[in-house]
Amino acid sequence: MSLEQFKNRNVGVQHYRMLDLSHTPQTGWGQFKQVVRRTLSLELFVGLKVTLREMTKALFFGKMHTTKYPFEKLPVGPRYRAIHEMKRLLESGHYRCIGCGLCEKICPADAIRIETAYGEDQRKQVQEYTINFGRCIFCGYCAEVCPELAIVHGGRYETASEQRASFSLFDDMLTPIDRLKEQKEFPGYGSVSPDADKRIHKTPLAY
Amino acid sequence: MSIREPNKTITVTIDGQECRGEWGQTILQVARANDIYIPTMCYLSKVEPIASCRMCVVEVEGVEGMILSCQEKAVDGAVITTNSDDLYRERQNITRLYDVNHPLECGVCDKSGECDLQSKTVEFGVDQQTFAARDQHRPVQDWGFISYDPSLCILCEKCVRVCNEVVGDEALQISVGGYKSTIINTKLDQQCAECGECMAVCPVGALVSTDFKYTANAWEMEKIPASCAHCSSGCQLYYEVKHTSIDNPDPRIYRVTNEHEFSSLCGAGRFAFDYANEGVQQDARAFDQAVTALRQADTIRFSGVITNEEALLLERLREALAVRLVCDDAYGYQRFLAAYRSISGSTLYEASLKTVADSQAVVVFGTRIYDDNPMVKYHMAMASKHHKARIVYLHPMEDARIQNLVTQYIKYEAGSEEGVAALLAATLLAGKTVSDPLAGVLDNLDIGNLSAESNVGEEELDTLKRSLWKKEGFTLIVGADLYNHPEAENIARFIAAIERYSDFKVLIVPPATNARGVAEICTLSEAVEGYTVGYNAPGDFVLSALGDGDLDMPALNQQEGTLTTVDQRVVPTHPALPYEGYTLNQLANALGVGSRYTIDQTPHLPRDKGYKAIAFDDLPDYFDALGGEHRGYLLSPGEVETRDVFSEIEELPAYDGLVVYRCNEGSAFGPFDARSVHRKHEAVLKGSEQFAVAARLKGGERIRFELDGESYERVFRIDTTLKGTVAIHPVWDRGLSAFALSSYRFSQLKFETTGNE
């Protein structure tokens, strides 16, 4: 669609069409007649028709549309960006985070802090990891930059808290080890694209 | 091709741009000087071209094939192309080969973000590996303070070269074995210099600091330019600072880096950075007490670990309060310099670290240079490796650690320095026209007697004299043994005479960080008198940056200011860590002589001593593309009236029996260095087996002795690399009293055994 018709400000030659509305009564008698006509023709119930139908369904057929929050919650879309989750490796159960610090660097709200150290297993060990949800803007950059699909967004969207700064620690976000089987991949930004198999080239090995 | 002529400017065309250079410069140097980029991988400015990576290839018109720009000299009129499709492909292939089997662990690698291989991989678009090489098991090696990961190593050889050519330690070698080649540390058991230079020049994450490993990323830390505060070299460095932890937002120094392409650091500079006086708050009561103490003080005693500005404030306080200034670190040095100047006629000595490195003959006298000033030793190593310099080392104790550099060791008896200086002067000035008073003294020397007493054989001096034949560039390095010698002034005159009448240039190594600055700025007295306020020194009221005094002071990495270095250069340093307490400037303000900030003093440093009226913020602090140093400024030379007076040499003092030598071994520079948790030194009395026999001591025995009015209790250790009956006596662990020693470094030892370790 071109923008031509919006740029043309010459109102006179445009094809305006007047709506076919009845005339507003000008006299007192005319106004009285309009009130009587509208009152007796039961136009009100035409407007209430849908409401009454739904009320009947709710009252007599048990088909209720209201969600009783917080006792009931609607599911959110899988790509919704809510409170973060830290994933584990499915085979070993070890946390996926390698402590590279890219999420800390990319975070535009400066909400993430990470502390790492040389671990006994010669790996980079995450000693502590925090996200300040008082600052987090849920932009999803951390999940997108994460090379290990370790930090992702989850579906927990209730972020209200008593204090302005509300921290989440590593263990709070990490998948509990006993619920590893239920761990699901995040399909949002930063996840493996559906055609990843086609785009990945295998590195040749000499063994 | 035009004719090659030395000392000529040449013009070459690089990528269509006309570039000027000097004859003798390589193509790469000319290009860099003219801001033209040639990618390199193994090139390191401070060592000879390594030529292992072949990344720096260029094309030269009329020459077939590709030329290595790092080692090929630029020829006048040459037309050079630094970038073409062929060159790009060549470099891309080199990068591909480097990338084969290189672990994809950038995510955790300490080097990530400042890694040369990473940059080149991105630059040449190597995004996949199309061929393979059989990988092998290459476990990470723990070299103590450094970890070596052979699988990350690209064998560029920078570390090996820097260890050999710059540090002179010869600890690292390449174990050649084709694809199995690795770097090996041959001095794992005997301790290498532990300087961390290899780690600094490593372009990838193969060599990393064990303490730093995996604690922070390169991009997170703020680089704060500063000058090292441990010795008088005042080396350029960056304190890399980041918040301490998640809970603690206060900055902490994580590591020290430097412009490793051009300058170097020793172990103290690189690892002993955690000496700040932390957690200090303003204590108004202590401050008032300090002001009162200063008002009633007869003496202010201070250490040489101080900025020029603070030294100037102390001098102002001296004038205002009519107190004596005592700086044990600098007093002897100041006297020595004054005596030296009375002969040389110039305020500056002629040598600098660069002249040492460019020398073909270096004579070291009166200093255990390996420990006293590692940077001087590095430059001796450069002279040795790059110019095959003769290195003559005169000292009562042979130093096994620099055996590989020293071509002639001349042992003299402790205490006989005056005789040795006279003998040196007689040797080096033989056949030269000298002033009458000097000629009188030299002609009257009883050489046989001096030789016998000092134990320096005439034939040794002949060898020394002969070895200088056909050499160019001579440097004489003198050090801290001489400054507090009873006859220091006469020694200084002989040293100055050598400089004045021969081709030797003299380097008078300052004995403490800013001893030179203090010697220039302050009017010093010899000894403490009456009520004493100590600033980083013992006293009745102590201002201390170690946190153990009556009023806290900032350490040198919490202060801004300037230092005067061994190069006679005034270098700026910046605070890496915050400091909330009071400073000397505030005390001076309370006494009516301070300024708004300490650095407001910088332009007021004494101009008659060679300082310039340049504001602190206007001091440059960088190296140019070819490594030219633009840090601060060099002291301007001044003339001094000469007084040609030499004293006759009296009887040389004899130090018989057991002698100890005050020396902080392993460049453990003192109380500040001692605070570092990264450095692992042991304060023990170290002697040779011969010493142990003479003293009837066994290794591990605990002894007590008194020296300079201090009582020491030390464990005795036998060090098989030492010889003779002189033991090494460290004082770095003694807190502030280590800054209050101004006696001659050798002393006779009387001790009592107090048991075993």
Q: Which CATH class is domain B332-508?
A: alpha beta
Under DSSP, is residue B11 helix (H, G, I), strand (E, B) or coil?
A: strand
Task: For chain A, give every domain's residue range.
Answer: 29-61, 84-191
Q: For the residues B121-142, what does the mean pLDDT come to?
A: 90
- To which residue do tokens 């560029």 refer? B156
Structure confidence by residue, pLDDT tens digits, B28-69: 999 999 999 999 999 999 999 999 999 999 999 999 999 999
Q: Which residues pair with B224 in a beta bridge?
A: B239
CATH number of B133-271: 3.30.70.20
Strands B659-662, B726-729: pairing kind: parallel
Fold of the domain built from segment(s) A84-191: Alpha-Beta Plaits (3.30.70)
Strands B685-687, B710-718: pairing kind: parallel
Structure confidence by residue, pLDDT tens digits, B567-578: 999 999 999 999
pLDDT given at position B2? 42
Q: For the residues B191-196, what does the mean pLDDT come to?
A: 86
Q: Is B137 on the interface with A (CB under 8 A)?
A: no
CATH number of B9-83: 3.10.20.740
In the predicted structure, residue A1 carries a pLDDT above the cut 70: no
What is the percent of chain B with per-residue pLDDT over 90, rounded to a whole number?
Answer: 83
pLDDT given at position A190? 82
Structure confidence by residue, pLDDT tens digits, A116-174: 999 998 899 999 999 999 999 999 999 999 999 999 999 888 888 888 888 899 999 99
Cα–Cα distance between B221 and B241 in angstroms, integer?
5
> Both tokens of residue B619?
């001091």
Count the alpha carbons within 13 Å of B47 in the hemisphere toward its beta carbon. 27
More confident call, B429 vs A207? B429
Which run of H or of E encompasses A141?
A: helix A141-145
> Both tokens of residue B375?
């940077």
Q: Is B281 on the interface with A (CB under 8 A)?
A: no
pLDDT given at position B4? 47
In the predicted structure, residue B1 carries a pLDDT above the cut 50: no
Task: For chain B, give every domain's residue range.
Answer: 9-83, 133-271, 294-330+515-634, 332-508, 659-756
pLDDT given at position B3? 45
- φ/ψ bin of B373: left (φ > 0), alpha (ψ from -120 to 50), beta (otherwise): beta
In the predicted structure, residue B502 carries a pLDDT above the cut 90: yes
Structure confidence by residue, pLDDT tens digits, B325-379: 999 999 999 999 999 999 999 999 999 999 999 999 999 999 999 999 999 999 9
CA distances from B422 to A136, B485, B496, B601, B704 (A): 75, 14, 11, 41, 37
Mean of per-residue pLDDT scores for chain B: 93
Cα–Cα distance between A170 and A113 in angstroms, integer?
10
pLDDT given at position B757? 75
Interchain proximity A205–B132, CB inside 8 Å = yes
Interchain proximity A206–B107, CB inside 8 Å = no
Fold of the domain built from segment(s) B659-756: Barwin-like endoglucanases (2.40.40)
Cα–Cα distance between A155 and A75 in angstroms, integer?
8
- Residue B443 CB contacts under 8 Å (≥ 6 apart), including other chains: none
Q: Which residues of A touch B245 (CB under 8 A)?
A: 115, 128
Give strand ranges (E) for B574-631. 621-623, 629-631
Which run of H or of E encompasses B312?
A: helix B308-321
Q: Which residues of B touch A115 (CB under 8 A)?
A: 245-246
Angle at which helix B331-344 crosses helix B488-501, to 10 degrees, equals: 40
Interchain proximity A100–B107, CB inside 8 Å = yes
Interchain proximity B108–A124, CB inside 8 Å = yes
Using beta carbons and an 8 Å cutoff, which residues of A are at the interface with B?
98-102, 104-105, 113, 115-119, 122-125, 128, 130, 147-148, 201, 203-207
- Alpha helix stretches (DSSP H) within B11-157: 27-33, 85-99, 116-123
Greatest CA separation found in chain B? 81
Which run of H or of E encompasses B132?
A: none
Phi, psi (rounded to 5 degrees) for B547: 85, 10
Q: Is B100 on the interface with A (CB under 8 A)?
A: no
pLDDT given at position B455? 92
C-alpha gyration radius of chain A: 30
- Alpha helix stretches (DSSP H) within B393-434: 417-428
Q: Return the residue of B nearest to A100 by Cα.
A: B107
- Select from A100, A117, A148 the Cβ nearest to the Cβ of B215: A117
- Select from B106, B140, B214 the Cβ nearest to the Cβ of A116: B214
- Position B596: which residue type? R
Q: For the residues B178-199, what does the mean pLDDT come to?
A: 88
ipTM score: 0.84
The pLDDT-based confidence of B269 (bands split at 50, 70, 90) is very high
Q: Return the residue of B nearest to A125 by Cα.
A: B214
Cα–Cα distance between B57 and B46 in angstroms, integer?
20
Structure confidence by residue, pLDDT tens digits, B646-700: 888 888 888 888 999 999 987 788 899 888 888 778 889 999 999 999 999 988 9
Structure confidence by residue, pLDDT tens digits, B154-175: 999 999 999 999 999 999 999 9
> Both tokens of residue A28?
């007192």
Cα–Cα distance between B547 and B757 in angstroms, integer?
30
- Select from B128, B217, B243 the Cβ nearest to the Cβ of A101: B217
Q: Which of B102-111, B545-554, B665-674 has the lowest mean pLDDT?
A: B665-674
- Select from B133, B135, B214 the Cβ nearest to the Cβ of A117: B214
Structure confidence by residue, pLDDT tens digits, B288-300: 999 999 999 999 9
pLDDT given at position B7? 65
In the predicted structure, residue A48 carries a pLDDT above the cut 60: yes
pLDDT given at position A64? 84
Query: How near does any CA of chain A get to the CA of B117, in Å?
Result: 18
Structure confidence by residue, pLDDT tens digits, A112-121: 999 999 999 8
In the predicted structure, residue B311 carries a pLDDT above the cut 80: yes
Angle at which helix B417-428 crosses helix B458-467, to 10 degrees, equals: 50
pLDDT given at position A205? 82
- Give the rounded distance of the alpha carbon of A34 from its chain centre: 49
Cα–Cα distance between B604 and B299 in angstroms, integer?
24
> Both tokens of residue A96?
């996926």
Structure confidence by residue, pLDDT tens digits, A68-113: 898 988 888 888 999 999 999 999 999 999 999 999 999 999 999 9
- Residue A56 CB contacts under 8 Å (≥ 6 apart), including other chains: none
Interchain proximity A204–B132, CB inside 8 Å = yes
DSSP state of B526: S
> Both tokens of residue B404?
């590989």
Cα–Cα distance between B171 and B173 in angstroms, integer?
7
Q: For the residues A31-53, what does the mean pLDDT come to?
A: 88
Label residues B189-208 b or e (16+ Cβ within 10 Å = b): eeebbbbbbbbbbbbbbbbb
- Select from A99, A113, A206 the Cβ nearest to the Cβ of B108: A99
Q: How many beta-carbon pairs under 8 angstroms link A with B?
A: 55
